[in-house]
């Protein structure tokens, strides 16, 4: 019996849209419009900087704390506004307070989960924190589809470490050949799952360019079924 393991951010839960909505609220709360920058311009910088920092974290080059402390300072600097470390941490705290209550899902997410849950056991493997990821799943109305929620803090490891995938297989009593990981990060989700002997489906809007063996690619969530 196959079991499906999903990444959450950027795969099921629409991180980009939800994060942008938070940035707009933060601009309103802190009166940042008066500083001559607009949230759209800021978000373009923030999105790239945040993604790059998370990629560095996956490679163990930086700590989680560095992301929390610096992503706002770096993003404001890029849009021409110098802020203090204290202000950066305050913005980040507001962001973390607002973000988990946002509910926008990736297109087709609810329908495909509802459909798949009739046949398969579904789980989450995420590099986020359990309380935050649980809140996002609940806000998005999809928490009930999942059996186990495996996160960085509960597993004590993070993707792409094959150890977190082995931990998940063990917790769900699933053989590697019966486990399929679905995620948007080639490095964290796909190579990590392969390292633990699982199949993996790369969900990405980019064309499929990887040439590794057993590489599976979709650009719409509803296409998952083609690979099951």
Among 7, 21, 58, 70, binds Mg ion (CB under 5 A): 7
Q: Give whichever of 32 and 67 is closer to Mg ion, judged by the CB atom.
A: 67
Q: Give whichever of 35 and 64 is closer to Mg ion, judged by the CB atom.
A: 64
Residue 136 is a binding residue for Mg ion (CB under 5 A) = no
Residue 184 is a binding residue for Mg ion (CB under 5 A) = yes
Residue with tokens 């099951």: 228
Q: Give whichever of 175 and 208 is closer to Mg ion, judged by the CB atom.
A: 208
Query: Can you tell me the distance from the alpha carbon of 191 to that of 187, in angstroms, rounded to the nearest whole number?
Result: 5
Q: Which of 150, 144, 120, 112 is nearest to 8 (CA)?
A: 150
Burial of 81 per CB tally in 10 Å (0-12, 13-18, 19+):
middle
- Is residue 140 within 8 A of residue 103, CB to CB? The reply is yes
| Least distance in angstroms from the C-beta of 8 to Mg ion | 7
Chain-centroid distance, C-alpha 95: 15
| Least distance in angstroms from the C-beta of 19 to Mg ion | 13
- Is residue 114 within 8 A of residue 145, CB to CB? The reply is yes
Query: Can you tell me the distance from the alpha carbon of 128 to that of 12, in angstroms, rounded to the nearest whole number?
Result: 14
Query: Can you tell me the distance from the alpha carbon of 54 to that of 195, in angstroms, rounded to the nearest whole number?
Result: 20
Residue 9 is a binding residue for Mg ion (CB under 5 A) = yes
- Is residue 186 within 8 A of residue 210, CB to CB? The reply is yes
Which residues in 70-89 contact Mg ion (CB under 5 A)? none
Residue of closest CB approach to Mg ion: 10
| Least distance in angstroms from the C-beta of 56 to Mg ion | 15
Crossing angle, helix 85-98 and helix 64-78, to 10 degrees? 110
Among 4, 5, 10, 50, binds Mg ion (CB under 5 A): 10
Question: Which segment (1-9, 26-34, 50-58, 61-69) binds Mg ion by CB under 5 A?
Answer: 1-9
Question: Which segment (66-74, 79-87, 176-184, 195-203) binds Mg ion by CB under 5 A?
Answer: 176-184
HSE toward the beta carbon, residue 181, CA cutoff 13 A: 36
Q: Give whichever of 7 and 58 is closer to Mg ion, judged by the CB atom.
A: 7
| Least distance in angstroms from the C-beta of 189 to Mg ion | 7
- Is residue 145 within 8 A of residue 112, CB to CB? The reply is no
Question: Which segment (6-14, 52-60, 136-144, 202-210) binds Mg ion by CB under 5 A?
Answer: 6-14
Question: Which segment (8-16, 42-50, 69-77, 133-141) binds Mg ion by CB under 5 A?
Answer: 8-16
Contact set with Mg ion (CB under 5 A): 7, 9-10, 184
């Amino acid at each position: 019996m196959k079991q499906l393991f999903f990444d959450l951010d950027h795969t099921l839960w629409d991180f980009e849209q939800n994060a942008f909505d938070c940035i707009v609220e933060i601009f309103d709360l802190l009166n940042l419009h008066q500083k001559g920058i607009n949230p759209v311009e800021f978000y373009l910088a923030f999105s790239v900087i945040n993604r790059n920092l998370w990629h560095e974290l996956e490679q163990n080059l930086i700590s989680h704390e560095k992301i929390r402390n610096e992503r706002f300072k770096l993003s404001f600097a890029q849009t021409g506004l110098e802020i203090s470390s204290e202000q950066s941490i305050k913005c980040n705290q507001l962001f973390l307070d607002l973000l988990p209550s946002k509910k926008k899902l990736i297109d087709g997410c609810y329908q495909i989960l509802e459909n798949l849950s009739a046949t398969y056991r579904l789980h989450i493997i995420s590099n986020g924190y359990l309380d935050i990821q649980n809140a996002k799943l609940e806000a998005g109305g999809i928490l009930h589809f999942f059996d186990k929620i495996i996160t960085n803090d509960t597993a004590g490891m993070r993707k792409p470490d094959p150890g977190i995938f082995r931990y998940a297989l063990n917790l769900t009593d699933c053989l590697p050949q019966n486990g399929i990981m679905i995620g948007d990060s080639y490095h964290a989700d796909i190579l990590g799952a392969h390292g633990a002997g699982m199949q993996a489906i790369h969900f990405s809007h980019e064309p499929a360019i990887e040439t590794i063996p057993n590489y599976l690619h979709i650009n719409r969530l509803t296409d998952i079924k083609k690979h099951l």
